[in-house]
Amino acid sequence: MAAPAATRPLGLGPIGLSGWDGLDPARTRGRGWRDLWRSYRTAVRLGWEIEANWTDPLLFFVHSIAQPVSSALILIVMLEIVGGAASREFRGYVVTGSALWSIVISGVGGLAWSVLDDRETYRMLRYLYVSPSDFLVVLLGRGTARIAIGAMGASITLAVGIALLGIPFDPGRVNWPLLAVSMVLGLAAIVAGGVLMAAVCLHARQEAWSYPEAAAGALFLVTGAVFPLAVLPSAVQLVGLAMPITWWLAAVRLALFPDGPSSLAGTGTAWAALAGPVPPDAGQTLLALLVTGALGVLAAAIVFRASERRAKDRGLLDQTTGS
Amino acid sequence: MTGTPARSAWVGRPTAGPREAAVWSTRRRVVTELRAVRGRAYPRLNGLFREKSWLLFEILLPFLTTSAFVFVYRALEAPAEYVGFVVLGGAMTAFWLDVIWMMAHQLYLEKHQGNLELYFTAPVDLMSVLFGMAVGGLVISSLRAIVALVVGTAVYGVTFSVTHWLLLAAVFVLTLASIYGLGMILASLFLMWGREAWHLTQLLTEPIYFVSGLNFPVGRLGLLGALAVATIPLAVGLDAMRQLAFSGAPSFGTPPPEIEALILVGMTVVYLAVARFSLGVLERLARREGRLTLRWQ
């Protein structure tokens, strides 16, 4: 008859190693959400350190705002050159879109750049992958730090627009609940875009640094970021209406500038053909953002898991490239 | 022992020792440098055929970004030549992005890959290595620029009005020469700055696009535009090409293209000379301190 487990000497596991009490299956399963949260928090901190501690705070601040402010200034000069009433009307429109775009770029690029950084520069991707932390959670944490920097750039660009470029802004007229809900839903959709780009970059070579910005640039065309969708061909407008970022931008504009021009409505637009000449209200905009965003998140999760399996199968997680 | 030199283990000719073997003929030096250019361009060109995704991400999608600015002008009902400005600017960004991402940033990446110490110990000039990178990168960026110009012209109906083809071609070549010269300087600076390189690369996109007048005549920026014309090759090259490709378009007070071509000649000479000097300093530091080429430093 076998001896009961309780009689086994403490500190000597099944193979007789001192200080090891045998395999605890619960440790391999982890502690669920607590472990995920801890991984996420650590990844956010690591991401922030990588992004922020490379220089002094002043240069970091300049670096964070230079890109979005310059993008906005390019558009402002374009408006000024053409002149006319349209340019004055569009000033708030383009500054808002341009400012928010820094969040899109940092969100779409953040996760992908983390993959490339860890694989090509720091060569830590393989270790991160085999660590007990969930790989996707680690990437999300790293991406969060970049989104925070993008959000800082967006806020300062908006502030510059209001303070120096004469954009009419009344805090009393801002629809704060709409702004809060649209930001939450919009950020989820943007992060989904980041997960998709990370899935692509798991399979791309070192020079894929520019891929996220290229992808974001293509979205720039179809989402009405700096011009109304009405000027695009109808088929392209339909593509834009399927993008959650289009609805996020529309919702934020509606919340910040309730009387500003709509990016979706207008004579002959795809929106007018689908729903009539009246621009979408806050409820319709949020509903569309929710539906398209949920589909985007689902697609991103499926594509990322498939990409991860393929990368693991082909040994791409620890492969460095170069050209 | 006789005084006749034995066949050397270091070179394929009889020499008295390693010191004599290290003395190369001019022909041999030139051939080796050309081999270095070819050797460094090869992986970049070969990589194109191994990784097809660049067709989408580096040619098609950037064209869509350029298109977005075309539609901004269309939404404002701007004159037709402004759309041409955007298309021309979009084409030239391909070369600028190649310089900052695939040249300025590259030595820093090579350091992390462990190649940089090989470059320093190889009997070739670092400029040949960088030139090889430029040749390889030029293929991608030229394709991207051609697509932007051809498709932009076809889709958006841009009409070029060129009166001085020869000058336009000369300005284009000079712009590339000065941009790549600047890229070589940045490559050495970024290597010395270390981890800041990646961030500084990002800092050289949108802000440079703005001060270079990517989508509008740079003269519209006043003093800032004048400073850009005097220091940034993308700014002066774009402005000269814009004046030559769209005769009669407003220039907002910038110099005529002939003068801008001379500015580009000056920039090319100065930037290449500074690049040579800074790469020499880099090589000396790398040999003396031994840290510059080490990973994680």
Residue B276 confidence class, pLDDT cut points 50, 70, 90: very high
* Closest chain A C-alpha to B264 CA, distance in angstroms: 24
Q: How far is C-alpha A314 from the geometric centre of its chain's CA atoms? A: 27
Residue B4 confidence class, pLDDT cut points 50, 70, 90: low
Which chain A residues in 90-119 lie under 8 Å from chain B, judged by CB atoms?
90, 94
* Closest chain B C-alpha to A110 CA, distance in angstroms: 13
Write out pLDDT tens, residues B219-273.
889 899 999 999 999 999 999 999 999 887 776 788 999 999 999 999 999 999 9
Q: Which chain B residues have a beta carbon less than 8 Å from that of A221?
A: 64-65, 67-68, 71
For an interface test with A, the pick among B51, B70, B147 (most A C-beta atoms closer than 10 Å) comes out as B51
Determine the length of chain A. 323
What's the rounded mean pLDDT across residues A208-214? 82
* Closest chain B C-alpha to A87 CA, distance in angstroms: 7
Q: Do B57 and A121 touch (CB under 8 A)?
A: no
Write out pLDDT tens, residues A214-270.
888 889 999 999 999 999 999 999 999 999 999 999 999 999 998 888 888 877 788
* Closest chain A C-alpha to B193 CA, distance in angstroms: 10
Q: Do B109 and A54 touch (CB under 8 A)?
A: no
A77 touches chain B (CB under 8 A): yes
- Determine the Cα–Cα distance for residues A51 and A44; give it in Å rounded to an integer: 10
pLDDT of residue B106: 82
A156 touches chain B (CB under 8 A): no
Q: Is residue B95 pLDDT above 60, yes or no?
A: yes
Residue B59 confidence class, pLDDT cut points 50, 70, 90: confident
Shortest CB distance from B215 goes to which of A55, A78, A84? A78
Write out pLDDT tens, residues A75-107.
999 888 887 666 677 888 999 999 999 999 999
* Closest chain A C-alpha to B71 CA, distance in angstroms: 7
Determine the length of chain B. 297
Q: Do A77 and B216 touch (CB under 8 A)?
A: yes
Helices (H), ranges, chain B? 18-21, 26-50, 53-54, 61-75, 80-99, 106-113, 116-121, 126-156, 165-193, 196-203, 206-211, 223-231, 233-245, 257-289
Closest residue of chain A to B41, computed from CA coordinates: A323
Q: Do A81 and B78 touch (CB under 8 A)?
A: yes
Q: Which chain A residues have a beta carbon less than 8 Å from that of B206?
A: 66-68, 70-71, 74
Predicted ipTM? 0.84
Q: The tokens 């399963």 sit on which residue?
A: A29
Q: The tokens 């402002």 sit on which residue?
A: A76
Q: Is residue B13 pLDDT above 80, yes or no?
A: no
A265 touches chain B (CB under 8 A): no
pLDDT of residue B1: 46
pLDDT of residue A16: 62
- Determine the Cα–Cα distance for residues B202 and A64; give it in Å rounded to an integer: 10
Write out pLDDT tens, residues A36-55.
899 999 999 999 988 888 78
What's the rounded mean pLDDT across residues A268-288? 90
Q: Name the DSSP class of A171.
A: G
* Closest chain A C-alpha to B61 CA, distance in angstroms: 5
Q: Is residue A9 pLDDT above 70, yes or no?
A: no
Concatenated DSSP letters of B32-100: HHHHHHHHHHHHHHHHHHH-THHIIIIIIHHHHHHHHHHHHHHHTT--HHHHHHHHHHHHHHHHHHHHI
Q: Which chain A residues have a beta carbon less than 8 Å from that of B71?
A: 221, 227, 231-232
pTM (2 decimals)?
0.83
Q: Do B68 and A55 touch (CB under 8 A)?
A: no
- Determine the Cα–Cα distance for residues B163 and B177; give it in Å rounded to an integer: 23
Closest residue of chain A to B137, computed from CA coordinates: A323
Contacts of A28-36 with CB under 8 Å at 24 or more apart are: A30/A132, A35/A132, A35/A133, A36/A134, A36/A137
Establish, for the pair of chains A and B, how many residue pairs have beta carbons separated by less than 8 Å: 142
pLDDT of residue A26: 65
Q: Is residue B49 pLDDT above 90, yes or no?
A: no
